[in-house]
């Protein structure tokens, strides 16, 4: 039941999801979206920073071509562990605590990277940073989802997640400016200080999930306060109970991803995430290096490589309404176009203009498709296992993101040219399209 004026009273027991779904998108939901987007903005910056500084690190430390592959994968290993561990933990103790703790961890890890002197230290610090980055992402998705009405949920989650792509893209542009003037360590100095300075603001501005509070019970006053922020002027009778009409699941949260007919959808989602993130991190980590090998300067390679994330930002804002309307059918088409765009990067490598367009198109589809996958996954799972569902999908996807840079490094070490390299990189996008098509056929 919607509440639109101060003198309207919601009687008895209030179904929180139904109440939220009945409301238009308001100022409080936009505030939650922007706060979560700020977390993912820094997350994206710190996740992609290593790819942008890789050519400069390799030059300073005199490393062989492709030898930074383990460093890339170390950060992604941390991301995987963070998503797998902190997703289920948030379903037990709340989204807010995990987001705050994760931001602290990845801020410290990124700042310490300034003092790295060899690849061993760099690997260790990227794992630490990845733990925080991996914990923040699924919980920002879940929190935004749980404050959004169902009819606009995918769009709002995708807009929020654009913060990640904007941060990642800005990382490339900032690296292009900082590295020639101050060296590669300056990128990590900025990336570490910003989240630590943001923490006091997050502590004050970040609310706990309204559905989580209603689900665990005993927090009716807090739920009422949040609903009154959501709908200014709403009032509730003394003793009103706020509930979520979903079962309280017990036992191992991950097991519930396969219960009640969810198993096949969960596996298909994992395939989409695995293939999508394999492709995304192969491209995002190695594009600057490949462009540098083609004769482009380090700073220009970072700027052109950032077009992958710029395309992702445009794709996110463009695809949101189509995903809300057509769901997995739109996702399958997005990944199909992605396969063509990725292959075109290799075929257009002789021209800076054409390769920039192809990289932009790849980002539009792969980054946009990945963000759409996050939104659809958050929509699919119930409140009690939403962070677990998103976290484990991202965690399984991180296995692909670990393999992507390693595969790219191996192909580069064998002097594979751009055309076969990006032709091979188109295959995972095709597989993701096929899995999304099966999900669409299942309805």
Following DSSP, what letter does each residue of 30-98 receive, concatenated? HHHHHHHHHHHHHHHHHHHHHHHHHHHHHHHHTPPTTTTHHHHHHHHHHHHHHHHHHHHHHHHH-HHHH
4 within some domain: no
Residue 7 lies in a domain: no
For the cut 70, the answer to whether the pLDDT of residue 10 exceeds it is no
**Alpha carbon distance 299, 295 (integer Å):** 12
Distance from C-alpha of 21 to C-alpha of 25, rounded to nearest angstrom: 9
Rounded CA-CA distance 381/390 in Å is 8
Give the best-scoring range by mean pLDDT among 54-58, 114-118, 146-150, 428-432.
428-432
Per-residue pLDDT band for 357 (boundaries 50, 70, 90) equals very high
In a domain, 10, yes or no: no
Q: Is the pTM of this model over 0.85?
A: no
Tokens found for residue 241 = 């109970």
| % of residues, the chain, pLDDT over 70 | 95
**Residue 8 lies inside a defined structural domain of this protein:** no
CB 340 within 8 A of CB 333: no
The pLDDT of 381-404, averaged and rounded, is 86
- Helix 119-146 and helix 69-93, axial crossing angle in degrees, nearest 10: 40
Q: Which of 353, 300, 367, 338 is nearest to 428 (CA)?
A: 338
Taking CA 225 as the corner, what is the angle to CA 224 and CA 230, rounded to the nearest 5 degrees? 95
Alpha-carbon gap, residue 63 to 113, rounded angstroms: 18
Q: What is the mean pLDDT of residues 92-118?
A: 93
Backbone torsions φ then ψ of 134, nearest 5 degrees = -70, -30
- 405 closest CA partner among 423, 421, 427: 421
Q: Which residue has the higher pLDDT, 172 or 111?
A: 111
Give the SS3 label for residue 26: coil
* Residue 308: band (very low, low, confident or very high) from pLDDT cuts 50, 70, 90: confident
End-to-end C-alpha distance for the chain, whole angstroms: 28
- Whether 11 is covered by a domain: the verdict is no
Query: Is residue 422 one of the residues assigned to a domain?
Result: yes
CA distance 211 to 15: 10
Domain count for the chain: 1
5 belongs to a structural domain: no
Exposed (0-12), middle (13-18) or buried (19+): which is 402, by Cβ within 10 Å?
buried
Kindly report, residue by residue over 125-149, the tens digit of the pLDDT: 999 999 998 899 889 988 998 888 8
More confident call, 300 vs 265: 265
Nearest to 408 by CA among 312, 309, 342: 342
Q: Cα separation of 233 and 37, whole Å?
A: 27
Q: Tokens 């709002």 belong to which residue?
A: 156
Q: Is the pLDDT of residue 169 over 80?
A: no
Please give the pLDDT value at position 122: 92
Q: Where are the beta strands (DSSP E) in 99-203?
A: none
Q: Rounded to an integer, what distance in angstroms lies between the CA atom of residue 87 and that of residue 203?
A: 20
- pLDDT of res. 84: 86
Q: Which domain does 312 fall in, by range? A: 16-246+253-442
Instruction: Report the CATH number that the domain containing residue 88 is assigned in CATH.
Output: 1.20.1250.20
Cα separation of 370 and 272, whole Å? 8
Longest dimension (CA), the chain: 72
Q: Confidence band (pLDDT; 50, 70, 90) for 338?
A: very high
Mean pLDDT rounded to a whole number for the chain: 86
Q: Specify the pLDDT at position 251.
A: 66
In a domain, 318, yes or no: yes
Is there a contact between 91 and 248 (Cβ–Cβ < 8 Å)?
no
């Amino acid at each position: 039941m919607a509440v639109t004026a101060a003198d309207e009273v919601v009687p008895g027991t209030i179904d929180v999801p139904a109440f939220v779904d009945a409301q238009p998108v308001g100022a409080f939901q936009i505030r939650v979206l922007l706060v979560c987007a700020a977390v993912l903005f820094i997350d994206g910056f710190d996740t992609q920073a290593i790819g942008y500084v890789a050519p400069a690190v390799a030059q300073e430390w005199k490393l062989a071509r492709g030898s930074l592959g383990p460093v890339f994968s170390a950060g992604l290993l941390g991301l995987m562990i963070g998503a797998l561990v902190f997703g289920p933990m948030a379903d037990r103790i709340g989204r807010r605590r995990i987001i705050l703790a994760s931001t602290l961890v990845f801020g410290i890890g990124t700042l310490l990277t300034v003092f790295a002197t060899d690849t061993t230290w760099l690997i260790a610090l990227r794992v630490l940073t990845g733990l925080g980055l991996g914990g923040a992402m699924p919980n920002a998705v879940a929190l935004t989802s749980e404050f959004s009405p169902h009819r606009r949920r995918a769009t709002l989650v995708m807009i929020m997640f654009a913060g990640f792509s904007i941060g990642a893209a800005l990382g490339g542009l900032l690296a292009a400016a900082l590295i020639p003037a101050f060296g590669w360590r300056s990128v990590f100095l900025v990336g570490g200080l910003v989240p630590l300075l943001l923490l006091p603001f997050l502590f004050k501005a970040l609310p706990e999930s309204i559905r989580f509070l209603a689900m665990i019970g005993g927090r009716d006053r807090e739920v009422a306060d949040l609903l009154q922020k959501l709908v200014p002027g709403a009032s509730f009778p003394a003793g009103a109970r706020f509930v979520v009409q979903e079962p309280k699941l017990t036992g191992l949260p991950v097991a519930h991803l396969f219960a009640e007919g969810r198993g096949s959808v969960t596996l298909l989602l994992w395939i989409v995430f695995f293939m999508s993130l394999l492709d995304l991190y192969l491209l995002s980590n190695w594009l600057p290096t490949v462009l540098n090998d083609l004769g482009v300067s380090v700073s220009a390679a970072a700027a052109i490589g950032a077009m992958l994330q710029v395309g992702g930002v445009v794709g996110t804002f463009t695809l949101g309404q189509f995903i809300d309307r057509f769901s997995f059918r739109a996702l399958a088409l997005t990944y199909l176009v992605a396969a063509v765009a990725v292959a075109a990067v290799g075929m257009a490598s002789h021209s800076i203009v054409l390769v920039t367009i192809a990289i932009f198109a790849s980002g539009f589809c792969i980054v946009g498709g990945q963000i759409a996958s996050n939104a659809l996954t958050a929509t699919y799972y119930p409140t009690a296992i939403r962070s677990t569902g998103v976290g484990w999908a991202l965690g399984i996807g991180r296995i692909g993101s670990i393999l992507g840079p390693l595969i790219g490094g191996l192909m580069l070490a064998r002097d594979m040219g751009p055309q076969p390299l990006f032709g091979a990189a188109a295959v995972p996008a095709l597989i993701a399209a096929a899995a999304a098509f099966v999900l669409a056929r299942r309805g």
